[in-house]
Amino acid sequence: MDIGSGGGAVLSYLLLIYRKTNSSKMACDSEIQADLTVLKNHSKGAKHLKNVKVIVKNQPKISTMFSNKNEASGQVSRAEIKIAALISEHNLPIKLCDHLIPLLKDIFPDSKIAQGMQMGRTKATGVIKHVLAKSHFEELIDELKAKKFSILVDESTDIGVVKNICVCVRYFSEKTNETMVST
């Protein structure tokens, strides 16, 4: 192990310095003086080298620790986004998520994706507002940059004193060959 002249690696080498004169090392679980020369000599010792080999041998690789979890969690996230998109697209009540996800888990008990889904109405609202809406908005902006469009504005007041404004954009979509209205 090369500690270097600046001693920057010493900070990562020590797990904890709990007194000015003593330090606790991760590999050997022994107390030694927190002195650069003592640390260098200890790192070259037989006990330390043997313990480091055991740790390295038993330590799982980072790629194996996270690859399966990321792949599975990515599939779960994709499924949750698709369910939120279905609810949003068909104007279904968001409270449906509170019942739909447990139903899917019951129907597909062998599916790891279905078992991993955790989405109630709060998370579904967040996915619709912060994931789907942003994506739709960016696609809409890209599509409207080169086209002419109309803006429709409607303002109203609730039963209380809350004012609402609705802004709709009407344009012709070449993707679907029809006139689209987007809010």
- Looking at the chain, the whole-number percentage of residues with pLDDT higher than 90 is 40
Cβ–Cβ < 8 Å for 43, 23:
no
Q: Tell me the pLDDT tens digit for each residue of 38-80.
A: 778 878 888 878 887 877 777 767 666 555 566 678 899 999 9
Q: Is 159 left (phi over 0), alpha (psi -120 to 50) or beta?
A: alpha
**What integer pLDDT is reported at residue 68 of this predicted model?**
57
Tokens of 158: 């609730």
Q: Taking residues 125-154, what's their average pLDDT?
A: 91
